[in-house]
Amino acid sequence: MYIDIWQFLGGLVHWLLVDIIGPILGWIGFHGLESWLGSPGVLNFVTILLVALIVFTVGMLVAITHIWQERKTLGRLMDRRGTQVGPIGLFQNFADGLKVLVKEAIIPDAADPLVYNAAPVIIIGVSLFMFVTIPYSQGFYVANPQMSVLLTLAIFSLVPFGVLIGGWASNNKYTLIGGLRAAAQIIAYEIPLLLSVIGVIILAGSLNFMDIVAYQQSHVWMVVPMILGFVVFIISMNAELERVPFDLPEAEAELVEGWMTEFGGMKFGLIMMSEYARGFVGASIATLLFLGGWDMPSFLQFIPDELWFLAKVFAVFGLFIWIRGAMPRVRTDQILAIGWKRLLPLAAINIFIAIIFKTLGWF
Q: pLDDT (tens digit, 9 = 90+) per residue, 244-280?
A: 888 877 776 676 677 888 888 888 888 888 889 999 9
pLDDT in tens, 132-180: 889 988 888 888 888 999 999 988 888 888 888 888 888 888 888 888 8
Comparing 17-26, 69-78, 93-102, 227-236, the range with the smallest average pLDDT is 17-26
If one compares 163 and 224, the residue with the highest pLDDT of the two is 224
**CA-CA distance, 221 to 214, in Å (whole number)?**
10
Q: By three-state DSSP, how is residue 270 classified? A: helix
| Three-state helix/strand/coil letters over 203-246 | HHCCCCHHHHHHHHHHCCCCCCCCHHHHHHHHHHHHHHCCCCCC
Domain coordinates of the chain in residue numbers?
115-360
- How confident is the model at residue 252, as a pLDDT? 67
If one compares 33 and 117, the residue with the highest pLDDT of the two is 117
Cis amide bond preceding 249, omega within 30: no
* Cβ atoms 362, 230 nearer than 8 A: no
**CA-CA distance, 131 to 277, in Å (whole number)?**
9
CB atoms within 10 A of CB 326: 10
DSSP readout, 298-339? Answer: GGGTTS-HHHHHHHHHHHHHHHHHHHHHH-----HHHHHHII
- Say what percent of the chain tops pLDDT 70: 95
* Cβ atoms 171, 111 nearer than 8 A: yes
Pick left, alpha or beta for residue 293 (phi over 0 → left; psi -120 to 50 → alpha; otherwise beta). left
- How confident is the model at residue 294, as a pLDDT? 92
With 0.85 as the threshold, say if the pTM is over it.
yes
